């Protein structure tokens, strides 16, 4: 397999990095335009629109697109290369923001501002071995490398196999690009009779030592549980007559923040998901008055390896039950003390025990109860919330208002705790999931590691999960029907503003690898990528993986004749 040269890689890398393509904005279209322009002007692609194109994201307000390119060789075996071209915002660069997308000028500016660097980043800058800038590591480096590989493959008249390259928007937000690209992959497979054998992302990897690299045979999962608490409204001067929802929510936060109960680990390897953390916890009051808040809402971030959403929700509901019971007991004891000391032994407020104790349930159960009791009112509340999203209201606010409306319909006169899920949902995926994937990935990892040892004396370790969250989560899925049913039930507004093509993912499922350059400090102003990894080591390792994956030896039925590119899906 032909390797792109150092100059060819850097000639793509620098202008790609220069594109300010902030995630979740129309600026992402600038990176898509760069990709289109590159292949429109590249021999082998120019004048042949059937080999590259744009795939619009459905109903996307920013008009964003998935960009794709295809190299056809001999046979049906196909490797899918994916990278995202969106980057996070640059506010942390401060006065250096105007050079955040120019590695050369940024390096000069950092040398003039040594206080902006810690010891390690300063040493890396002075070494001249790293390129600094927003998107250099995450992940324009991997994108430039993949584009250069497609150029090299297109120049090879004897290329064996096929390469599909997907350049994706929105990975840093909701992965709308990859979720849409699943349909594109299905279209390309049918149009060109492709056999997908591997998906390769080129996200940057982090190292514990400079001599040991990492490749990943999967990607960590992520889910965002929410907790809604409805209290009993009362004047602050008559607190014993009400129930403050913050008492329950704060107890839930205390029990779950960084809790190992949600973290899972592999028994045979030192891999573990990070403990969960709360991204938001607040009450419903927007202005001051002398009353308790009526409701409170929080969002928990949970990353997982082999865990499942149903077990995560069950664990959270258990914490909610414990925290609600504790808060109710504390409020009851305090109210009794107050009534006894003031002589208000009757009429001093309700009891929070028995049938007045806080009720804890999942969103799916609450929705089912309200729908059964008053279907039209449920649908009206749902459509109202969905309409708010369509007019630009943040999804979590619309969900909060939706659950508020359902709590009004429930009208039980007792505190209420509801737990469910918010987007995005990233399924965990790993070569461990399926024996046939495991054999493929371990074989490829061994070949890549052997190549690194022979050439540079470096070790490349195979980890089961890329822990940075990536679009590889949508490369395959187990139990698509069961997972979809759970997400549909427990994620309010699912299908209106957010959905996952579970069935299509199952249809195009393939093993996955992350092979990317060494990078540091992703999402920080000291973000940087190793020049040698970008231009020398990663190209060799990626070429080895592609060559082995596309080798048709042993494939039932052998090779098929080349199918010329034509048309656009």
Tell me the mean pLDDT in the region 266-275: 82
Return the structure tokens found at 313.
């929700």
pLDDT in tens, 108-159: 999 998 888 999 999 999 999 999 999 999 999 999 999 999 999 999 989 9
Quick one: 115 exposed, middle or buried, by C-beta within 10 A (0-12, 13-18, 19+)?
Answer: exposed
Q: pLDDT tens, 316-366? A: 999 999 999 999 888 888 888 887 888 765 545 567 777 788 999 999 999
Q: How far apart are CA 98 and CA 528, in angstroms?
A: 17
Residues β-bridged to residue 132: 528
Report DSSP letters for 38-99, one per residue: HHHTSTTTTT-GGGEEEEEPTT-TT--EEEEEEEE-EEEEEEEEEEE--B---GGGGGGGGG
147 Cβ contact partners less than 8 Å away, ≥ 6 residues apart: 12, 16, 35, 38, 69, 165, 167
Q: What's the CA gap between 454 and 23, in Å, rounded? A: 39
What pLDDT is stored for residue 350 in this prediction? Answer: 66
SS3 label, residue 21: coil
- Closest by CA to 200, choosing from 5, 461, 458, 471, is 471
Say what the pLDDT of residue 265 is.
83
What is the SS3 assignment for 387? Answer: helix
Q: What is the pLDDT of residues 455-503, one digit of tens each?
A: 999 999 999 999 989 999 999 999 999 999 999 999 999 999 899 999 9
The band of 564, judged by pLDDT with boundaries at 50, 70 and 90, is very low
Query: Residue 197, preceding bond cis, omega within 30 degrees?
Result: no
Sign of CA dihedral 361, 367, 369, 370: positive
DSSP calls for 196-211: EEEEEE---B--SSTT
Structural domains in the chain, CATH included, are 6-213+521-550 (3.40.630.10), 223-425 (3.30.70.360)
How far is the C-alpha of 185 from the C-alpha of 477, rounded, in Å?
15
């Amino acid at each position: 397999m032909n390797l792109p040269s150092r100059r060819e890689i850097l000639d793509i890398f620098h202008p790609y990095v220069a594109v300010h393509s902030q995630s979740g904005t129309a600026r992402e279209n600038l990176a898509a335009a760069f990709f289109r322009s590159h292949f429109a002007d590249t021999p082998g692609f120019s004048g042949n629109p059937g080999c590259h194109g744009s795939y619009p994201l459905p109903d996307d307000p920013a008009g964003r697109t998935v960009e794709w390119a295809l190299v056809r060789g001999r046979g049906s075996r196909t490797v899918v290369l994916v990278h995202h071209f969106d980057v996070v915002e640059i506010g942390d660069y401060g006065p250096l923001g105007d050079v955040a997308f120019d590695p050369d000028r940024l390096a000069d500016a950092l040398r003039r501002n040594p206080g902006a660097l810690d010891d390690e980043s300063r040493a890396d800058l002075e070494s001249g071995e790293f390129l600094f800038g927003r998107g250099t590591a995450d992940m324009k480096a991997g994108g430039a490398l993949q584009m250069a590989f497609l150029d090299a493959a297109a120049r090879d008249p004897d290329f064996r196999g096929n390469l599909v390259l997907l350049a994706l928007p929105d990975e840093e937000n909701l992965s709308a690009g990859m979720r849409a690209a699943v349909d594109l992959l299905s279209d390309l497979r049918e149009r060109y009779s492709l056999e997908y054998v591997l998906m390769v992302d080129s996200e940057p990897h982090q190292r514990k030592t400079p001599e040991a690299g990492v490749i990943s045979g999967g990607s960590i999962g992520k889910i965002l549980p929410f907790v809604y608490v409805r209290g009993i409204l009362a004047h602050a001067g008559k607190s014993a007559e009400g129930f403050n929802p913050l008492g329950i929510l704060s107890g839930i936060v205390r029990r779950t923040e960084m809790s190992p109960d949600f973290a899972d680990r592999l028994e045979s390897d030192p891999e573990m998901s990070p403990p969960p953390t709360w991204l938001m916890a607040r009450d419903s009051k927007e202005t001051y008055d002398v009353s308790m808040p009526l409701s409170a809402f929080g969002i928990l971030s949970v990353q997982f390896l082999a865990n499942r959403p149903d077990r995560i929700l069950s664990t959270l509901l258990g914490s909610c039950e414990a925290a609600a019971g504790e808060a109710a007991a504390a409020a009851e004891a305090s109210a009794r003390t107050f009534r006894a000391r003031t002589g208000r032994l009757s009429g001093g407020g309700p009891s929070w025990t028995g049938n007045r104790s806080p009720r804890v349930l999942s969103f799916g159960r609450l929705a089912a109860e309200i729908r059964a009791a008053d279907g039209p009112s449920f649908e009206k509340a749902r459509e109202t919330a969905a309409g708010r999203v369509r007019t630009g209201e943040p999804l979590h606010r619309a969900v909060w208002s939706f659950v508020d409306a359902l709590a009004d319909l429930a009208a039980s006169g007792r505190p209420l705790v509801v737990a469910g899920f918010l987007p995005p949902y990233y399924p965990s995926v790993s070569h461990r999931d399926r024996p046939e994937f495991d054999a493929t990935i371990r074989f490829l990892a061994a070949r890549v590691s052997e190549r690194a040892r022979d050439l540079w004396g470096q070790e490349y370790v195979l980890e089961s999960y890329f822990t940075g969250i990536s679009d590889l989560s949508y490369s395959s899925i187990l139990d698509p029907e069961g997972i979809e049913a759970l997400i549909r039930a427990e994620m309010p507004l699912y299908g209106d503003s957010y959905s996952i093509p579970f069935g299509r993912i199952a249809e195009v499922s393939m093993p996955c690898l992350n092979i990317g350059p060494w990078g540091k400090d992703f999402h920080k102003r000291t973000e940087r990528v190793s020049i040698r990894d970008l231009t020398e080591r990663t190209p060799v390792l990626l070429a080895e993986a592609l060559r082995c994956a596309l080798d048709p030896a042993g494939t039932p039925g052998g090779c098929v004749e080349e199918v010329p590119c034509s048309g656009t899906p």
